Amino acid sequence: MRAAILRAYGEPLAVRELPDPEPAPDGAVVSVDACGVCRSDWHAWAGHGEWANDRVPRGQVLGHEPAGEVVDVGDEVDRFRPGDRVVVPFSLGDGTCPHCRRGAGNVCEDGRALGFEAAAPGAFAERVAVPAADYNLVERPEWLGATAAAALGCRYMTAYHALAERTTVGGGDAVAVHGCGGVGLSAVQIAAALGARVIAVDVDDDALALATEFGAAETVNPASLPEEDDSVPERVRDLTDGGADVSLDALGIAETCRNSVRSLRPRGTHVQVGLTTDAERGEVSLPTDWMTRWEISFVGSRGMPPTSYPDLFALIEATGIDPGDLVARELSLSEVSDRLAAMDEYEATGVEVVTDFEG
Ligand SMILES: [Zn+2]
Ligand SMILES: [Zn+2]
């Protein structure tokens, strides 16, 4: 099979022939019809994470947002068989630990991150192996095509878990979204679908225009703030009559994280979704006295457990939102490197999906 491999940090991926994967006894092999390209791939490709001893190893097949069809299953697999249409969450659980059994496979103690570690080769490839298939694979409804499912596979489900499960956004809430890349735009669309009034924040007017299309009621560009509200939190508090009920940092830089916390009303909830870069090295200082004074909650959120997909599918069906709307561009395997390089400059808007594995 053809696969795109990380050879050296910051250098073009090598597209090569690799042997087809075999399923483990409890695993499956999925032929990949679509796989999204995301900021996490960029972090991996750029070699971030050395400070946390968490660099993605060279030789890794990247790609963690696949949708496709099962082509082979191991002897122990009961729920799936060849021909089943599936989507694969990037945070793979072992299916047996206490967290998995409580429905939180995304924080599995023995979990694997698809496309980020040697034990879990990724899906910028014609085929991908999935361990603990009965637990991890998600059946794809008839109405969900592979490209839209790939757009849903990481950022969309991450945004859903953050807004609907780590906190409970509902009708009439004011939700601020800081950073309108893939996960931020997904959060805008989902928060609006959940009935919230959404304030989208980004330094890029094109990203804000997309956010408006996806349901943001207001937008804030820090570069062009009115004089009377000269900081992002002031502007958000002004637009929400005292602060957002929920604020989400989709980017993970110190400034957006602190701005998000400071955008909240008393007793509001900040949800951290973006991971930091080499600049913050995993730590951001926060206004803890202020957070204590106003009973602010700070919540981390990572991916989504496979067991939550039916709820997300139900929301999509009930509200008519379409994760496929986020797809800005379809790519071939050999184009991935250029698109990763473009993220150095934050050039990518919307979600880009590999759909051609022969090119
Ligand atoms: Zn992703
Ligand atoms: Zn587990």
Tell whether 58 is covered by a domain: yes
CA of 207 to the centre of ligand 2 (A): 37
Closest CA to 146 of 84, 77, 61: 84
First to last CA, the chain: 13
CATH of the domain at 37: 3.90.180.10
Domain match, 137 and 166 both:
no
CA of 116 to the centre of ligand 1 (A): 11
CA of 170 to the centre of ligand 2 (A): 30
pLDDT at 323: 86
CA of 29 to the centre of ligand 1 (A): 20
Domain that holds residue 88: 2-154+323-356
Ligand nearest to the CA of 114: 1
Its pTM surpasses 0.85:
yes
State the pLDDT confidence band at 150, using cuts at 50, 70 and 90.
very high
CATH of the domain at 192: 3.40.50.720
CA of 303 to the centre of ligand 2 (A): 14
Average pLDDT for the chain: 94
Residue 165 to residue 158: CA distance in whole angstroms = 10
Residue 146 to residue 355: CA distance in whole angstroms = 9
User: Cα–chain-centroid distance for residue 182?
Assistant: 7
Residues of the chain with pLDDT > 70, as a percent, come to 99
Q: Are 80 and 28 in contact (CB under 8 A)?
A: yes
Torsion, Cα of 140, 142, 146, 150 (10° steps):
-40
Tell whether 308 is covered by a domain: no
pLDDT at 284: 95
Domain match, 103 and 217 both:
no
Asked if pLDDT for residue 53 goes beyond 90, the answer is no
Tell whether 313 is covered by a domain: no
Neighbours of ion ligand 1 (CB under 5 A): 38, 40, 154
Residue 72 to residue 95: CA distance in whole angstroms = 19
Residue 159 to residue 337: CA distance in whole angstroms = 26
The tens digit of pLDDT for each residue in 301-355 reads 999 999 999 999 999 999 999 888 889 899 999 999 999 988 877 655 778 999 9
Residue 128 to residue 115: CA distance in whole angstroms = 10
CA of 48 to the centre of ligand 2 (A): 26
Q: Which residue has the tokens 């939700």?
A: 175
Domain match, 340 and 257 both:
no
Tell whether 232 is covered by a domain: yes
The tens digit of pLDDT for each residue in 29-40 reads 999 999 999 888
Q: Are 160 and 183 in contact (CB under 8 A)?
A: no
Domain match, 85 and 45 both:
yes
Counting the structural domains of the chain, the total is 2
CA of 39 to the centre of ligand 1 (A): 6
The tens digit of pLDDT for each residue in 98-124 reads 999 999 999 999 999 999 999 999 999
Domain match, 120 and 236 both:
no
- Summarize the confidence of residues 164-178 as an average pLDDT: 97
Domain match, 218 and 286 both:
yes
Q: Map 153-189 to HEC letters.
A: HHHHHHHHHHHHHHCCCCCCCEEEEECCCHHHHHHHH
CA of 237 to the centre of ligand 1 (A): 30
